[in-house]
Structure 1
């Protein structure tokens, strides 16, 4: 299965790929995501495991996402998993 590539520092990717509640203030961390805006809400956990693709409306699991930043893949261990 091919992964969806998300460029972390790309403005257009930040508009397209959002947390499940629709915020762009998410960050990848330790095999999941964290959303700053969600974490500020009472009774809401900032941790989540799926990004919403606003273009298609689909939720994309963390292991289905290949994150890139200016130096390359963000999670090389996740990107290598299952590719051997």
Structure 2
């Protein structure tokens, strides 16, 4: 199984990842992802699911499941 790390506060790193609908407005939860634009579309009656379990790397078109992705905040110092 492959795994990746995404720096949540590095725009270049984060923005290469999109939801299955191609939006960059996703947020990670413990067990899945949620997309604000998908939620907005769903509330307007569109047939999209705002909660999903995978992200797509725009650069490589590879898809990774939530358990293969680690979200890091590299602004925080580690001891």
Q: Distance in 2 between matches of 1:66 and 1:30?
A: 10
Please, what TM-score do these two structures have when normalized by structure 1?
0.76
Unaligned runs of 5+ in 2: none
Question: How many pairs are equivalent?
Answer: 72
For the pair 1:56 / 2:60, whether they are aligned, the reply is: yes
Return 1-10 or 39-48, whichever deviates more.
Answer: 1-10
Which 4+ residue blocks in structure 1 deviate beyond 2 angstroms?
A: none
Contact 2:4 2:68 in 1 (8 A): yes
State the 1:2 CA deviation: 5.1
Unaligned runs of 5+ in 1: 73-84
Deviations 1:43-65 (A, max 9, x none): 22210100100111011111111
- CA RMSD of the aligned region, Å? 1.6
Please identify which structure carries the higher strand content: 1
